[in-house]
Amino acid sequence: MMDRVRMEAVSWERLGDGLAERVDGLTAGRDGGPWLRVGIDGAPAAHPEEPAERLAEALRRRGRAVLAVPAAGFLRPASLRYEFGREDPDAYYDTWLDTGALRREVFGPLEPGGNGRVLPDLWDAEADRATRSPYAELPPGEVLLLHGPLLLGRWFPFDLAVHVRLSPGALARRTDAAERWTLPAFARYEDEVRPEEAADVVVRADDPQRPAWSGAGA
């Protein structure tokens, strides 16, 4: 499907500006709420945090308040993540991310009638303990950016979903050797979710110096 969509070469800086234009074109959330919720999805090797940072910078230059939330701050405790071993790709796909906590602490406060008080992170996976971060106030009309892997197909209420794609070959080459056990999870993601079709905007990043995106003609 995406092969029939026009892809245009873009710099990372221009990508941030282009995505900001897309966000500025949204007058309200898809559910009618006053907040805008943007997902930047991509495998760790695709570094979705980088376009998220570019977008946040571009929006702030336009006078928008932005709260960037890394999905890595909402991983489950190690006892749950490693229940079936430390290198189980199905567990990585299905249970590592605490989707319930994200819905409760991040998306719930941004629903119509919500209070805009978002928890920016919940769990420090490296220390394996709660972060105890304070809530952040996001004013109505402003923007949440959630970035990380395997975000699509989970019924998160994104008003704009961006998928940073690596081909299977590029993903294998750019994934650290110690993390290659996760590759079957991303193959499953491609088969079950089809993120290129699920996303509103696709960024192809096989060549990190020459990305291309589908947003120019949108």
Average pLDDT of the residues in 75-86: 96
Over residues 145-154, the mean pLDDT reads 98
The model's pTM: 0.94
By CB atoms closer than 10 A (0-12, 13-18, 19+), residue 97 is buried
- How far, CA to CA in Å, does 211 sit from each of 47, 111, 117, 173, 186? 13, 33, 35, 17, 20
pLDDT (0 to 100) of residue 185:
98
Q: How confident is the model at residue 30 (pLDDT cuts 50, 70, 90)?
A: confident
| pLDDT tens per residue across span 188-213 | 999 999 999 999 999 999 999 999 99
The answer, yes or no, to whether residue 5 has pLDDT greater than 90, is no
What integer pLDDT is reported at residue 3 of this predicted model?
Answer: 47
User: Could you report the per-residue pLDDT of 96-136, keeping only the tens digit for each?
Assistant: 999 999 999 999 999 999 999 999 999 999 999 999 999 99
Asked whether the predicted pLDDT for residue 217 surpasses 60, the reply is: no
Decide if pLDDT at 88 tops 90.
yes
pLDDT band at 28 (very low <50, low <70, confident <90, very high): confident
The answer to whether residue 91 scores a pLDDT higher than 50 is yes
Region 31-54 average pLDDT? 96
Contact 41, 142 (CB under 8 A): no
Distance (Å, whole) CA 73 – CA 138: 18
